[in-house]
Amino acid sequence: MEIKGKVLFVDDEINILKSIKRGFLHAPFEVITAESARDGLRTLEETAVDIVVSDYRMPEIDGFQFLKMVKERFPEVNRVILSGFIEKSVAVESLTRGLASTYILKPWLNEDMEEKINHILSMRKVLKSRKLLGVINQIENLPHLSNIYQEFMEAVNEEKSMDRISRIIQKDPSIATKVLQIANSAFYGLKNCTSIKQAAITLGLDTLQDILLTISIINTMKWKVEQMHRLQEIFLHSFIMNTHLPHLHRFIPESHYYRTFPSVGLTYDVGKVILLQYFPDRYQTVLKHLQRHPEKDFYESEVEMGFEEVSHQEIGAFFLDYWNLPQIFIETALFHHTPEKPSSQYNDIIGLTHLIDSLIRALALEKEVDPSRYTFDHIPQKVIMETVYAIGKKLTKPIFSDIQQ
Ligand SMILES: [Fe+2]
């Protein structure tokens, strides 16, 4: 059997560690264990580990603090938190803070845990494939995402005051200016708003977070005037996605994941942004191919042109991972054209992203869209019809017409 990776389990209860070792004796990954956070950090220094699975409740340094240290000192290691059912809120919080990519509740079924670990390992394989790294390595300096977004998210999670939250954005005048430009754009319609705090109060923190993430991404790269039209088109589609995703997701039973990550729709096509910036010729060639084959979508064209495994899906997912965004962002970008592929906890979101993306594409081509051809479990046909109508209207309203470089 092929061993796909190394997993470090950290728990102060020796019996649990023993049963984990026994339970995964025949799993396709190697299990190593540590009895404390300190012990775990020592192991990480000595051994190359793919995933750390840490218990939440531990004396001295708890799982939360431990994962934070792992994130800072060993950012390439994937982190999973293990918690009791009553501490589920802690587990969810570790996801929103980007401390863990997923959580596992106690008591667990070994098959479930094995499936989750295998899933993470195969995701790592995709994002670290030689073919993909070959493309990424052509980019001279990888764009860094400003810390402001993470800081902002932390402050919101900790329910800090509006003043504190606004000051985080104001620290970077270039980002603050652009956030205000979008807040004042036709799409949001705040006229002449000159204060971040005012924008936060009027638009709400969720919307401000969306705008901040968008601007943070745009700001990582330098844009030429002639690229702005395409960039706006990509983000207009992303904003439409982000508006409709939560609406449709409300119809899915147990849709709790979504509420924790309101901006996930914004980054689903971020691979296109990267292509436009760093591989403009390839981007143009795909667009030309699409003009000749309007029945195809962007991904299908990429595959036909030989970019399978290095399409905008993989490239986007690579950067979202590199920028340390939560797992749901990475998987949505990675599978939005191939929703049949993932066996992940985010299947619903990924399926819906695919559905909305197909609607946006059909409407952008000004096709006559028959809503009955677009169905999704639990979502009434009437709601799909309303969505088609609403997207059609939004496509005529460019969102960034006011943004300046
Ligand atoms: Fe796409």
Q: Report pLDDT digits (tens) over 44-91.
A: 999 999 999 999 999 999 999 999 999 989 988 999 999 887 787 888
How high is the pLDDT of residue 403?
52
H/E run at residue 340:
none
The number of helices, as runs of H, and strands, as runs of E, in the chain is 20, 5
From residue 64, alpha-carbon distances to 58, 94, 131 in Å are 10, 7, 35
**CA-closest candidate to residue 212, choices 260, 155, 283, 272:** 155
Superfamily of structural domain 220-394: Hypothetical protein af1432 (1.10.3210.10)
pLDDT of residue 379 exceeding 70, the answer is yes
How high is the pLDDT of residue 252?
86
Name the amino acid, one letter, at 362. A
Average pLDDT, integer, range 346-359: 92
Ligand 1 geometric centre to CA of 152 (Å): 27
Question: Which range among 36-40, 300-304, 362-366, 398-402 shows the weakest confidence by mean pLDDT?
Answer: 398-402
- Domain 6-128 class in CATH: alpha beta
Ligand 1 geometric centre to CA of 269 (Å): 5
Ligand 1 geometric centre to CA of 167 (Å): 34
Q: What is the pLDDT of residues 121-175, one digit of tens each?
A: 988 999 999 999 999 999 988 998 888 988 898 888 788 899 999 999 999 888 8
What average pLDDT is seen over the chain? 89
Ligand 1 geometric centre to CA of 164 (Å): 36
Residue listed under structure tokens 């799909």: 384
How high is the pLDDT of residue 191?
78
With beta carbons less than 8 A apart as the criterion, state whether 203 and 196 touch. Answer: no
From residue 172, alpha-carbon distances to 149, 166, 208 in Å are 11, 11, 15
Burial of 162-172, coded b for 16+ CB within 10 Å and e otherwise, reads eeebbebbeeb
**CA-closest candidate to residue 263, choices 202, 326, 322, 324:** 326
Question: Which range among 3-12, 21-30, 95-104, 310-319 shows the weakest confidence by mean pLDDT?
Answer: 95-104
How high is the pLDDT of residue 10?
97
Tokens of 237: 């589609």
Torsion angle defined by CA atoms of residues 209, 210, 216 and 217, in that order, rounded to the nearest 10 degrees = 150
| Sequence-separated (6 or more) residues with CB below 8 Å from residue 395 | 236, 240, 360, 363, 364
How high is the pLDDT of residue 90?
81
Ligand 1 geometric centre to CA of 307 (Å): 13
Q: How far apart are the first and last CA of the chain?
A: 54
Name the amino acid, one letter, at 264. V
Ligand 1 geometric centre to CA of 96 (Å): 24
Beta bridge partners of 10: 34, 54
| 143 three-state secondary structure | coil
pLDDT of residue 405 exceeding 60, the answer is no
- Distance separating alpha carbons of residues 28 and 14, to the nearest angstrom: 23
From residue 254, alpha-carbon distances to 213, 251, 344, 383 in Å are 26, 9, 15, 19
Average pLDDT, integer, range 345-358: 91
Ligand 1 geometric centre to CA of 209 (Å): 22
Ligand 1 geometric centre to CA of 161 (Å): 37
Q: What is the pLDDT of residues 224-250, one digit of tens each?
A: 988 988 998 999 999 999 989 988 988
**CA-closest candidate to residue 217, choices 32, 24, 400, 12:** 400
| 81 three-state secondary structure | strand
Residue listed under structure tokens 């098959």: 111
Q: What is the pTM of this model?
A: 0.87
Ligand 1 geometric centre to CA of 356 (Å): 11
Provide the CA 9 distance to its chain's centre, in angstroms.
25
Query: How many C-beta neighbours within 10 Å does residue 38 have?
Result: 14
Ligand 1 geometric centre to CA of 297 (Å): 8
Who has greater pLDDT, 115 or 53?
Answer: 53
Average pLDDT, integer, range 348-353: 92
- Domain extent listing, the chain: 6-128, 220-394
Who has greater pLDDT, 100 or 43?
Answer: 43
- Distance separating alpha carbons of residues 299 and 296, to the nearest angstrom: 8
Provide the CA 138 distance to its chain's centre, in angstroms.
23
